[in-house]
């Protein structure tokens, strides 16, 4: 923050300066005017009458001295203004428990950083909201990490003090590094099927005999919503494992590779979607682990955009891709970064599989024929009766009619009203006398294809029913045309 000197003091200092001998010198100390960076990655977790906040450390050219936690009952990010309860100076910590909150009330939080000269971050962090709730079971105890064991060179078993829930981004809920500071990437994390107090981590290759430190983040909570407490039994140390293959062992067991783990079936569900069925459950797979190419042209590659493992059957993996050429043959190639529950990857001979891209059913792209002879009859003081000759429905898949209403001559229409496929009339009620209405009727088939539609315009008289038909106009032209489903 800026420092100010009074006018009188300034003159006194100036006089003293002028009185110094020419050989004298003075040291001028400049104030720190740079504020710390904005606080990022603020997260909030509810408790019983409290909220646990955590965030990433801010940076400053001199050093961050501490943080202010702002609390309010309304969103400043959305509504502006200031926070209801102002700020709390919590010192230099990136975790804080705000207590004495009321259960069932939503609170909004933001955090700023300040340095030793009291320069404060110019903007609030991204705001978070949380609603404290009481626990019916009275569980206010945070889960702890009991142990960690390397099952294999790429799989770690973590045991917690109680059953836990993992966040959506499971891999980011843990950190793993060797005792010499080398970070090991965590590829995936999942709970054991029968005991949620046990979690398995799929990791990069570990070094046999090396010591590793596992840290669980506050994104891991128990079933009551209590998060792991940072710095309180959130770590465990284990020894890296690498089961080496012996000379007299002809199997792949223990070398991180499984001969039985492979793709059993490939199905092109859509032109941009592939369903892979593996022989075993898959726990980790990334888009970069898959390459799709035309069978007769390896240079024609299709990019894999996303990978999704089925929640109910982990042996089923869906790939979302760029559009493939309908009906063409493709080859899919995989690598060693696809893992089963044992942390094993596929053997090299099982890396490839062939499939044919989905063939489009062009017959489902053709809309039904339009109705004909659309008439509008004034049926009451506030109603108009529409009647028509049914669509010829050549394909036999007519599902319904849609009736649209407009008061600006057909420039824009209100939401459509559904009319049964076997009906040939519709009564528009609740209209205003003296107003002119335009109606459009379209035909829709079972695949959702909708015809262009036919228009009719009618003016409701000021008083008394009378017939007024201004005519019907097909957007396709005067004649009806016969439609046929294309045979593939």
For 399-446, what is each residue's pLDDT tens digit? Answer: 999 999 999 999 999 999 999 999 999 999 999 999 999 999 999 998
Q: Decide if pLDDT at 29 tops 60.
A: no
The answer to whether the Cα torsion of 285, 288, 294, 298 is positive or negative is negative
* Residue 369 pLDDT level (bands cut at 50, 70, 90): very high
Cα torsion at 107, 113, 119, 125 (round to 10°)? -60
CA pair distance 252, 243, nearest whole angstrom: 10
Contact 227, 52 (CB under 8 A): yes
pLDDT digits (tens, 9 = 90+) for 237-253: 998 876 443 333 333 33
Q: How many helices (H) and strands (E) does the chain have?
A: 2, 36
Number of Cβ within 10 Å of residue 227's Cβ equals 25
Range with lowest mean pLDDT among 34-48, 62-76, 159-173: 159-173
As a whole-number percent, the residues of the chain with pLDDT over 70 amount to 83
pLDDT at 382: 92
Compute the residue count for the chain.
488
pLDDT at 196: 85
Strands 352-356, 329-334: pairing kind: antiparallel
Q: 137 versus 266: which is more confidently predicted?
A: 266
- Segment holding 473, helix H or strand E: strand 472-474
* Residue 85 in tokens: 């309860």
Backbone angles phi, psi at 77, to 5 degrees: -60, -35
pLDDT at 477: 43
Q: Decide if pLDDT at 391 tops 90.
A: yes
Q: Decide if pLDDT at 25 tops 70.
A: no
CA pair distance 215, 235, nearest whole angstrom: 4
Range with lowest mean pLDDT among 139-153, 164-178, 302-316, 467-481: 467-481
Strand partners, 152: 155
Backbone angles phi, psi at 232, to 5 degrees: -125, 95
pLDDT at 30: 59
* Residue 311 in tokens: 């929640």
CA pair distance 281, 238, nearest whole angstrom: 26
| CATH code for the structural domain at 43-130 | 2.60.40.10
Mean pLDDT value of segment 93-121: 92
Match 């290759």 to its residue by tokens. Answer: 205
pLDDT at 285: 85
Q: 366 versus 439: which is more confidently predicted?
A: 439
Strand locations in 244-364, DSSP E?
A: 257-258, 263-270, 273-278, 282-284, 290-294, 297-302, 304-309, 316-321, 329-334, 339-340, 345-346, 352-356
Q: Decide if pLDDT at 360 tops 80.
A: no
* Residue 120 pLDDT level (bands cut at 50, 70, 90): very high
* Residue 297 in tokens: 């042209």
pTM for this prediction: 0.33
CA pair distance 217, 231, nearest whole angstrom: 10
| CATH code for the structural domain at 258-356 | 2.60.40.1220
Residues ≥6 apart with Cβ < 8 Å to 136: none
Backbone angles phi, psi at 432, to 5 degrees: -110, 130
* Residue 60 in tokens: 């400053």
pLDDT digits (tens, 9 = 90+) for 186-238: 988 888 766 788 898 888 888 888 899 999 988 899 888 889 887 767 899 99
Range with lowest mean pLDDT among 114-123, 173-182, 231-240, 452-461: 231-240
pLDDT at 9: 36
CA pair distance 222, 139, nearest whole angstrom: 9
The answer as to CATH 2.30.30.830 being correct for domain 145-239 is no
Q: What are the distances in angstroms from CA 334 to CA 75, 274, 320?
A: 47, 14, 15
* Residue 487 in tokens: 């045979």
Contact 53, 95 (CB under 8 A): yes
**CA R_g for the chain:** 35
Q: Do domains 43-130 and 258-356 have the same CATH topology?
A: yes
pLDDT at 363: 58
pLDDT at 124: 94
3-state secondary structure of 119: coil
| Architecture of the domain delimited by 364-474 | Sandwich (2.60)
**What are the extents of the domains in the chain?**
43-130, 145-239, 258-356, 364-474
The mean pLDDT value of the chain amounts to: 82
Nearest to 307 by CA among 316, 320, 294, 298: 320
- Segment holding 110, helix H or strand E: strand 107-115
Range with lowest mean pLDDT among 34-38, 194-198, 308-312: 194-198
- Segment holding 97, helix H or strand E: strand 95-98
* Residue 133 pLDDT level (bands cut at 50, 70, 90): confident
* Residue 161 in tokens: 């003090």
Contacts 24+ apart (CB under 8 A), 306-312: 309/282, 309/283, 309/285
pLDDT at 22: 38
Q: Decide if pLDDT at 113 tops 90.
A: yes
């Amino acid at each position: 923050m800026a420092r100010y000197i009074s006018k009188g003091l300034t003159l006194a200092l100036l006089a003293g300066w002028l009185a110094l001998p020419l050989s004298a010198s003075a040291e001028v100390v400049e104030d720190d005017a740079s504020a710390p960076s904005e606080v990022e990655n603020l997260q909030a977790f509810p408790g019983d009458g409290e909220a646990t906040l955590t965030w990433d450390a801010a940076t400053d050219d001199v050093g961050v001295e501490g943080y202010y936690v702002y609390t309010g009952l309304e969103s400043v990010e959305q509504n502006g203004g200031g926070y209801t309860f102002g700020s709390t100076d919590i010192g230099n910590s990136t975790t804080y428990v705000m207590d004495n909150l009321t259960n069932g009330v939503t609170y909004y939080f933001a955090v700023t950083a300040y340095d030793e000269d009291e320069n404060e971050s110019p903007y609030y962090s991204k705001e978070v909201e949380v609603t404290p709730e009481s626990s019916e079971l009275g569980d206010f105890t945070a889960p702890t990490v009991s142990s960690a064991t390397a099952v294999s060179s790429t799989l770690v078993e973590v045991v917690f003090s109680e059953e836990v829930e993992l966040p959506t981004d499971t891999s980011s809920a843990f950190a793993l590094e060797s005792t010499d500071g080398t970070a090991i990437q965590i590829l995936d994390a999942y709970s054991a099927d029968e005991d949620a107090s046990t979690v398995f981590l799929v990791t990069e290759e570990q070094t046999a005999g090396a010591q590793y430190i596992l840290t669980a983040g506050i994104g891991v909570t128990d079933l009551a919503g209590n998060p792991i407490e940072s710095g309180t039994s959130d770590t465990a140390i284990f020894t890296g494992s690498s089961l080496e293959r012996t000379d007299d062992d002809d199997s792949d067991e223990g070398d991180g590779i499984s001969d039985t783990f492979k793709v059993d079936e490939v199905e092109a569900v859509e032109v941009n979607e592939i369903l892979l069925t593996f022989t075993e459950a898959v726990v980790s797979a990334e888009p970069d682990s898959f390459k799709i190419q035309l069978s007769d042209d390896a240079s024609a590659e299709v990019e894999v955009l996303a990978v999704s493992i089925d929640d109910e059957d982990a042996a089923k993996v869906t790939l979302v891709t760029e559009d493939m050429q309908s009906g063409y043959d493709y080859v899919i190639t995989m690598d060693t970064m696809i893992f089963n529950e044992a942390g094993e990857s596929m053997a090299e001979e099982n890396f490839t599989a062939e499939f044919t891209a989905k063939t489009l059913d062009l017959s489902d792209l053709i809309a039904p024929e339009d109705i004909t002879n659309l008439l509008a009859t004034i049926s009451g003081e506030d109603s108009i009766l529409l009647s028509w000759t049914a669509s010829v429905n050549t394909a036999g898949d007519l599902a319904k009619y849609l009736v649209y209403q407009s008061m600006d001559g057909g420039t824009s229409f209100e939401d459509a009203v559904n009319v049964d496929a076997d009906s040939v009339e519709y009564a528009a009620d609740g209209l205003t006398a003296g107003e002119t209405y335009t109606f459009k009727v379209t035909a829709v088939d079972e695949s959702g294809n909708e015809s262009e539609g036919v228009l009719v315009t009618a003016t409701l008289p000021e008083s008394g029913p009378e017939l007024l038909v201004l005519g019907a106009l097909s957007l396709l032209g005067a004649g009806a045309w016969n439609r046929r489903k294309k045979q593939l």
